[in-house]
Amino acid sequence: MATTMFLIGLLYVVFVGVLLVLLRGSWPIILLITGALFVGQFWFSDRIAALGMGAREVTREQAPELHGTVDRICALADMPKPKVAIAESDVPNAFATGRGEKTSLVCVTTGLLRRLEPEELEGVLAHEMSHVAHRDVAVMTIASFLGVLAGMMTRVALYSGLGRSRDSTMGLAVLLVPVVSAAVYVISFLLTRVLSRYRELAADRAAALLTGRPSALASALTKVSGEMARIPTKDLRKAEPYNAFWFAPAFSSKESLSRLLSTHPTLEQRLEQLTRISAQLGGA
């Protein structure tokens, strides 16, 4: 994860350097605009995602067992309790949002609650609360900023007419911006996907070690992945835009290209890691 973050940061530095050379007087305004977009994305993206996925905060009286499980995990992890929510959806899944522990929310779908045993649910919630403890939403927002910046630069260069300069040298330089931006966007997108897959494996590991029952998390993963095949495609399509937040992706593929673009490791990779952890813990 550290290597991937370093590469993303290095790519960002190179990209800004190219902008300084190519755009000269125009770059401060563009960076100011993209900076404002980043702040908006950083502060509001998690709330927008929770709203889009239909998360509804529930009290202890409304969901005593769910709150009890969250309380146990918080005690084990010595962390503040996040807000607890339920989403009305038959898609069996869970997610967590929030830039940090004070703004965090953990949500499960009604489909997940109906299908999992208590120890399996505990494993899933421990996975999601690991994302909260490690501030993964903030990490992924920062990591994806370069892609947002590069994508915006491509649109600005293509549609603003900056390339129509009377200075042929400057005009040619500005025409290179879409090419450079597109290349940076693709590389940033792929690196962000790699980072996302590492974060999911890290959350699985943290949950397995915290609960001491990697087999329960493995069972939940297997059950959720299997149940996805029984969900109507139209429901999965609605959930797919939020794959980066979900415990398990709405759609997954074993094809090499799809795996390269996926936000999650394959089920086989996740189960293999949990099997190793189980052996280390003595078969728990």
Instruction: Identify the pLDDT of residue 125.
Output: 96
| pTM (2 d.p.) | 0.79
Which residues of the chain register pLDDT less than 50?
Answer: 162-163
* CA–CA separation, 49 and 162 (whole Å): 35
Number of Cβ atoms within 10 Å of the Cβ of 247:
26
Concatenate the DSSP letters of all residues of 186-199 into one string.
HHHHHHHHHHHHHH
Catalytic pick from 128, 240, 255, 268?
128
Question: Tokens at residue 69, please?
Answer: 């499980």
Instruction: Identify the pLDDT of residue 12.
Output: 65
The long-range contacts involving 5-13, CB below 8 angstroms and separated by at least 24 positions, are 5/139, 5/143, 5/195, 7/191, 8/143, 8/146, 8/188, 8/191, 8/192, 8/195, 11/146, 11/184, 11/187, 11/188, 11/191, 12/145, 12/146
The answer to whether 246 and 220 have CB atoms below 8 angstroms apart is no
> Is 67 labelled a binding residue?
no
Instruction: Identify the pLDDT of residue 15.
Output: 67
Question: Could you give the angle at the alpha carbon of 235 between the alpha carbons of 186 and 47, nearest 5°?
Answer: 60
Active site residue 128: yes
The answer to whether 133 and 110 have CB atoms below 8 angstroms apart is no
Beta-strand relationship, 83-87 and 94-97: unpaired
Instruction: Identify the pLDDT of residue 103.
Output: 81
Instruction: Identify the pLDDT of residue 84.
Output: 95
Concatenate the DSSP letters of all residues of 146-165 into one string.
HHHHHHHHHHHHHHS-TT--
> Is 134 labelled a binding residue?
no
Instruction: Identify the pLDDT of residue 62.
Output: 95
H helix runs in the chain, sequence order? 2-23, 27-52, 64-77, 110-115, 118-133, 136-159, 168-211, 214-228, 233-239, 256-261, 267-280
> Is 200 labelled a binding residue?
yes
Backbone angles phi, psi at 116, to 5 degrees: -100, 150
Question: Tokens at residue 170, please?
Answer: 């400057």
